[in-house]
Amino acid sequence: MILNVQKLKKSYSQGLNKLEIINDLNLELEKGSTLAILGQSGSGKSTLLSLLSGLDQPDDGKIILDGMDLGRLGESELTDLRAKKIGIIFQNFHLLPHLSALENVALSLEILKMDKPFEVAKKWLSRVGLSSREDHFPDQLSGGEKQRVAIARALSISPDLILADEPSGSLDEETGDKVMDLIFGLVREENSTLILVTHNKELAKNCEKTVHLNGGKLVES
Ligand SMILES: Nc1ncnc2c1ncn2[C@@H]1O[C@H](COP(=O)(O)OP(=O)(O)O)[C@@H](O)[C@H]1O
Ligand SMILES: [Mg+2]
């Protein structure tokens, strides 16, 4: 099992109210599987992904990624684990604006001290069809191109787990469909493990399994 989540809890204080966003949530995910998490806007999908990636801390519960209990790791160990094991694709790309497309992909490989980071980054840009945009900066790329760079960056490290947060959400429908086809194609080729969060039922059908985030819990559909 690559991911095991037990009784996860996360709430936010809003004035005098406490909003329970994630409430006793459990999840088990096998290596190489693909899971879609469907949920309305505001249901806590992004909150869940930031907990799973260790970017945010739960109030209670456990997240065990590849045998490691995230709650027992310090800040620098978490950063290290995220860099090595998790590929995140965000709705708004999160590219570094002062780096070229090639440098954006190569950076995480350099951080991991991987062999020939620029060669590997070039290969990945070619796999997402962007060889001719290596030296473009993010503001010189279209939305779909930016997302393809982000996909290349996320997958280039061969992560144990790919987390995708509405990756086509800020793209027009046709571009979004192409980006999703690319993600699913690469995930299949690499036999990666994917969690896709989305409010789009059609997109969810591309995953082996779909669950709903409802009332802070995952409910089978
Ligand atoms: N830092 C925060 N402080 C207070 N409330 C938050 C914070 N982040 C998210 N929320 C609230 O938590 C709920 C879930 O947010 P989010 O996880 O972004 O939902 P989704 O991604 O499903 O649209 C929303 O109601 C949002 O307003
Ligand atoms: Mg969200």
Both tokens of 7, joined, read 């009784």
Residue 32 has what pLDDT?
Answer: 95
Atom of ligand 1 nearest to the CA of 49: 17
Q: How far is the CA of 16 from the centre of ligand 1 (A)?
A: 16
- Residue 150 CA to residue 170 CA, distance in Å, equals 13
Strand ranges (E), the chain: 3-14, 17-29, 34-38, 60-65, 68-69, 86-89, 161-165, 194-198, 209-214, 217-220
Most informative mutation of 46, 48, 53, 218 for ligand 1 (most atoms within 8 A of CB)? 46
Residues 6+ apart with CB under 8 A from 157: 83, 84, 87, 108, 109, 112, 114
Residue 84 has what pLDDT?
Answer: 92
Any idea where the domains of the chain sit in the sequence? Answer: 3-213
Residue 14 has what pLDDT?
Answer: 87
Question: In this structure, are strands 161-165 and 217-220 parallel, antiparallel, or unpaired?
Answer: unpaired
pLDDT in tens, the chain (221 residues): 999 999 999 999 988 899 999 999 999 999 999 999 999 999 999 999 999 999 999 999 999 999 999 999 999 999 999 999 999 999 999 999 999 999 999 999 999 999 999 999 999 999 999 999 999 999 999 999 999 999 999 999 999 999 999 999 999 999 999 999 999 999 999 999 999 999 999 999 999 999 999 999 999 97
| Architecture of the CATH domain 3-213 | 3-Layer(aba) Sandwich (3.40)
DSSP character at residue 112: T
Q: How far is the CA of 49 from the centre of ligand 2 (A)?
A: 9
